[in-house]
Structure 1
Amino acid sequence: MLPQPGVFHFLWEICSGTVNEGSAVRTFGRLTDYDAEISKADLSVHHNSIDYHLRVLTSLVEPFEVQIGAKYLVLGEMETTTDHAPLKLSIKLMDTFCTTRQWRFNPILLQDQDFVKFIKEQIDFFFSTNTTDEVSNGTVWDAFKAYIRGQIISYSAGLKRRINNEILLLVDKIKEDDKKYAISPSKELYKHKVELQLEHSLLLTSLIENQLMRTRSDFCIHSDKSGKLLANQLKFDSVKRQITKIRKQDDTFTVDHVGINQTFQEFYTSLYHSDFPHDSNFMHDFLSKLSFPKLSPEDCLSLETSISEEEIITAISSLNSGKAPGPDGFTVEF
C-alpha cells in the first residue's frame, strides 16, 4: 500500500509516534551511515536543536549508489524495532534516489555555429521581452540564467537524439556495404565504406568528449566529499607518502621509524631557526632605513572610482578556459 500522493512525514513526526506501525510513509533525510553487510542505513534530520534518526532496511533496493551526506527520499512501511536507542524505526525501502547531478554548461557546444546562433536569438528575445523599469536588474539576471539554462538543456537533448539516430543509421549503412563488398568487392564501394566509418568515428568522438567533460565535473564535485572516489584517493596517497628510509646528515640511511621522525625533527628545527638577533632597537633601525613605494594622490583617487564595464569585460576575457563553473553551472567560455 502506497501513501497518498504528495504526502510526506518528517522524521520528527515519525519519531514522536504520530505514525502508526505498518502505515505506508514517505520521508527524507541525510544519509549518515550505511552497513552493506546487514543492509541497514541511517538517516538523520536536525530540527529545533535536536537530531532525529531513522533506521532504514535497504535489502530490497541493493545495490544502490551510496553517498554519505547526501539527502535520500525513502518510501516504505513503518516497523518499530527495539534497540539501545530510546526510539528507533525501520522502513522497508521500495524506492530511493540521491540528489541529482549539478548542471554544468558544456563548452563544446560553442563550436556549433547553429547553437551559437540559437543562443544569441534566445538572449536577445529574453532581454527585449523582460527588461523593464519595474523589475530590478538582479531579478532579471537570475531569471535569464534559469531561462537560458532550460533552452540549453532542450537544445542539448535534441542534439544528442540526432547524433544517436545518425550513429544507428551509419551502422546500418556500414553493415549493408560490408555485405555488398563481400559479394562483389570494388574500389568505389570500399571508399564509400571508409567514408561512413570515418563519419561514424567522428560522431562517437563527440560523445566521448562529452563523457570526459562529465567525468571532470564529477571529479570536481565529489573529490573532497565522503565516498568511494575520496577513499580511493586517500588510499593511494597514503601509499605514496609512506617513507621507508631517509638519509641522515652524516650521509647514512636509516629505516627505523623513530630515526626517520628524529631526522625530520632535526631538519625542520634547523630550517626554521632564525639567526636574527632578538634586539628590537636593531630591528627598528633596519626597517627605518628602508624606502617603501607610496601611491600618489591621483593613483589613490583612480583606485577609489567605480569599476567600469571595460574593466569587467577585460577581467572576464583574461580568465583561463576549462575551469570549474560557479553555482549557476555556466563556465567562463559561455
Structure 2
Amino acid sequence: MMGGDLNVPLEPSWDTSVGCSSIPLHILRSCRSSLHASRFADCWCTLHPTGKDFSFYAHPSQSYSRIDYLFIPQYHLSALRSAAIGTATWSDHAPVSITLRSPMFRLTAPNWRLNDSLLSDPLVAEEGRQVLTDFFEENATGEVASPIVWEAHKCVIRGYFIRKGAELSKRRSAAIRDLQQQITQISSNHKREGNPETMAHLTELRRSLNTLMNTSYHRSYLRSKALFHLHGDQSGRLLARMIAKKRSAKYIAKLRNSQGVTQRLPAKLLKIVRDYYAALYDLQGNTCPQDLAHKHSGLPN
C-alpha cells in the first residue's frame, strides 16, 4: 500500500475545480507512468469512476484539488471494499480512507473499562451512590449470604456505569455526527460557489468539532499514561517492545579494527569488541584480578 499527499493532481481536468494545473505536463506523465509500471491503482478513482471530489483547498487561488491518494496493487483490488474522501476538519487536507477485507480478521469480545470522566460528573456520582444505597437496603437483609451480595453489587454498579457511558457516548456521537453533516454540506456548497462567508462559517463549525473531539483525545491520553504507569517497570509485553526499540536504535552495523579496516560480519565485530576490552583491561598481561578490582574502586593496593 502507498499513500499520502502527492501535491500533484494526476488528472488536472478532473481532479481540480478549475480544470487545469500549473504543474508541467511531463511531470504528470512521469507520475502516471511510474504508478502504471508498479501496477498501483488509485483506490478512490477505482470505486468512483464517474465521481468528482477534492481533498485540498488552496486559499491563495481559492480552488479545490484532489492531491491526496491511497494506492494498492491492482491484484489486491478484490480486497477493496470502500474508499471515501472525508471532510477537512482540523487540517487543510481532507482525510482519505479505504476499507479492505482481510482473511486474517477474527472478531473478539470487547473488554469494558470504566469511563473515568463519569466520576467527575457530580450528578452521575450522586446517582451512583443512591443506586448502591438502594441495592444494599434491598438485598443486605440477611436472607442472602454476604459474599453473594458483595459480588452482585459489582454487577449492579458496573451496569449503571455502562448505561451512563452509553448515554454520554450517544449524545457525543450525535453532536459530532450533526457537526460533520453540517461541515460536509457547507463544504460542498463552498466547493460549488466559493463564497467567503461560507468559508467563515465552515471554519467556525470545524473549531466547534475540534473542541468536542478533544474530550476523546484527552481520555485516550489518560489511558496511555495509566498504562505506562502500571506496566512501565514490569516484565511483560510492553517492556519487551520498548526494549526491542532501544535494541534496534543501538544496532551496530560496522566497526573498524586496529588496522583501520572496516568489518561488517558478526564474527568480526565480536572479535573487535573482545580485543578492545582485552587490551583495555590488560587481560593478556600479568595484572591480577585483585589489582583490577582496586583500580576500578579507587582503593590503594
Identify the structure with the greater helix proportion. 2
